Chain A
């Protein structure tokens, strides 16, 4: 089954304790991206990657890091989480080949609470 898998789905942590949210896709997609969803703000892009070792900032990259060492994985790293990073996070992927409908495939989301 084609899917984007995120872990953990739920996490409560404390300020300053480094954490990583993993994202893996099994569709051989070149493009992957992270979004956060906040009330009244919709989905905002954090970082994206066009392919292995190619990453770039989205609209709200502050406080986050990413890496793309393998095509299937795109972890989101919070080196020193702060309460304003409490949010619902989504990983997404898509192919850059063929018809460019722009359809993104999303993971189920990771709800992060930083105390």
Chain B
């Protein structure tokens, strides 16, 4: 069973607009969430994270929102740039520790000029 789900396999956005990537989870034992970005032929790289005690974390153009009651998080990219085109994975950490991060299925973002 997929504990972390990204229901949109792909998303297309125009440069300068907002990109919103969504992630849903089922396990209420998750207490920390991360977003990774992956370019082709490269490994994923860490982007931004949020603890379950917060509902928002911001880093430059990237903001992650967490809605614990809905078991939903989202990544907002404003403004979107062509260099943001990549696959984005959300990941969740169980409160037992980081040993077993659970990743979502990924969303491919395409930002067109």
* A interface, CB within 8 angstroms of B: 4, 31, 35, 40-45, 48, 50, 56, 58-59, 90, 92, 94, 96, 100-109
Question: When the two chains form the complex, which single residue of B43, B91, B93 contacts A4, counting CB atoms closer than 8 Å?
Answer: B43
Determine whether the beta carbon of B99 is less than 8 Å from that of A56.
yes
Determine whether the beta carbon of A106 is less than 8 Å from that of B105.
no
> Could you give 21 example pairs across A and B, Cβ below 8 Å?
A42-B89, A42-B105, A43-B44, A43-B91, A45-B101, A45-B102, A48-B100, A56-B99, A90-B44, A94-B98, A102-B32, A102-B34, A102-B91, A103-B34, A103-B46, A103-B49, A104-B36, A105-B46, A106-B43, A108-B42, A109-B42
Determine whether the beta carbon of B100 is less than 8 Å from that of A45.
yes
* B interface, CB within 8 angstroms of A: 2, 4, 6, 9, 32, 34, 36, 41-46, 49, 89, 91, 93, 98-106
